Amino acid sequence: MTYQTLTLDMDERGVATVTMNRPESHNALNRTLIAELHAVALKLSQDDSVRVVVLTGAGRSFCAGGDIGWFRETLSRDRAGRIAESSALAEMLHALDQLPKPLVGRINGAAYGGGAGMISVCDVAVAVQSARFGLTEVRLGLIPANISPYVVARIGAARARSVMLSGALFGAERACAIGLVDEVTEDAGALDQAVETCVTSHLEASLSAVAATKRLIAYVDSHDRDAVKDYTSEALADAWDSDDGREGIASFLEKRRPRWRSGA
């Protein structure tokens, strides 16, 4: 499959790198990029050879949020048309959030509005020190609607209020302090090294266990304790009986590497 607004590369380890590729527009989200991000998320979800996904941006920015041209075009539509455009963005974010592989954000530069939402669907995010951030929608008279479930889940409601209500920009250190990103590096070289360290760590994990654990976290976060008790009891029982569960326990007892690890 060929893409107009992103690139997809995969190495021999099964590490897929998705690069938003609209550098002249600071990788702002338009209809095509949204559709292609959705498509690539579904493709990578279904590809058993993919073990880790890295999401980044081309050029100086990670993602500058919604493209103003897309906004202008959307304004010309009726309410049903505007809802359709908004729903496409929501579905794309959902597909990335539900990716059954670790999703590592390589935050190479500015991330505003929807760019912060793209960070928030990542499982781990590493940012370069020079990156700037902002939930800037209110400064355009808009609201951070589609991204809000993911931003609030990542940084919490109180911190979401502190950045969403003013739309003010902030730096990488604050982004790390509030939990939007997990690590900050001095420069691009250190960023690549930190991302590679993160990727290598994730390659040690069973892919089926990672997918099950992502489902587990989502369930635990959205259900009461009684429901969670039953869910977790069944989930662990199923994990014990899974192929990777049996392999993992056997490899531990036999003091060898499990078959899913590189070089096993």
Given a contact cutoff of 8 angstroms between Cβ atoms, the answer to whether 38 and 25 are in contact is no
127 and 86 in one domain? yes
Domain that holds residue 212: 207-253
189 and 98 in one domain? yes
Of 129, 2, 122, 133, which Cα lies nearest the Cα of 63? 133
87 and 191 in one domain? yes
Domain assignment present for residue 242? The answer is: yes
100 and 182 in one domain? yes
Given a contact cutoff of 8 angstroms between Cβ atoms, the answer to whether 48 and 100 are in contact is no
The pLDDT value given to residue 36: 98
In sequence order, which residues have a C-beta less than 8 Å from that of residue 158 and are 6 or more positions away? Answer: none
Domain assignment present for residue 154? The answer is: yes
* Spatial distance between the Cα atoms of 26 and 20, rounded to a whole number of angstroms: 9
**What are the backbone angles phi and psi of residue 145, rounded to the nearest 5°?**
-70, -60
Of 175, 202, 229, at which residue does a domain stop? 202
195 and 223 in one domain? no
Q: Is the pLDDT of residue 183 over 50?
A: yes
Q: Is the pLDDT of residue 223 over 60?
A: yes
Residues in a beta bridge with 66:
29
Average pLDDT of the chain is 96
Count of residues for the chain? 264
- pLDDT, one tens digit per residue, over 125-182 is 999 999 999 999 999 999 999 999 999 999 999 999 999 999 999 999 999 999 999 9
- pLDDT, one tens digit per residue, over 34-44 is 999 999 999 99
222 and 177 in one domain? no
59 and 41 in one domain? yes
216 and 96 in one domain? no
Given a contact cutoff of 8 angstroms between Cβ atoms, the answer to whether 127 and 172 are in contact is yes
The pLDDT value given to residue 264: 45
Run of H or E residues at 31: helix 31-46
**Percent residues over pLDDT 70 in the chain:** 99
Beta strands in the chain (DSSP E): 6-10, 15-20, 52-57, 61-63, 103-107, 110-112, 124-128, 132-134, 170-171, 183-185
pTM beyond cutoff 0.75: yes
The pLDDT value given to residue 1: 77
220 and 193 in one domain? no
The pLDDT value given to residue 198: 98
Copy the structure tokens of residue 70: 């897309």
Of 202, 217, 234, at which residue does a domain stop? 202
* Spatial distance between the Cα atoms of 222 and 42, rounded to a whole number of angstroms: 24
Domain assignment present for residue 105? The answer is: yes
192 and 224 in one domain? no
Q: Is the pLDDT of residue 263 over 80?
A: no
212 and 156 in one domain? no
- pLDDT, one tens digit per residue, over 98-137 is 999 999 999 999 999 999 999 999 999 999 999 999 999 9
The pLDDT value given to residue 162: 97
The CATH number of the domain holding residue 132 is 3.90.226.10
Q: Is the pLDDT of residue 262 over 60?
A: no
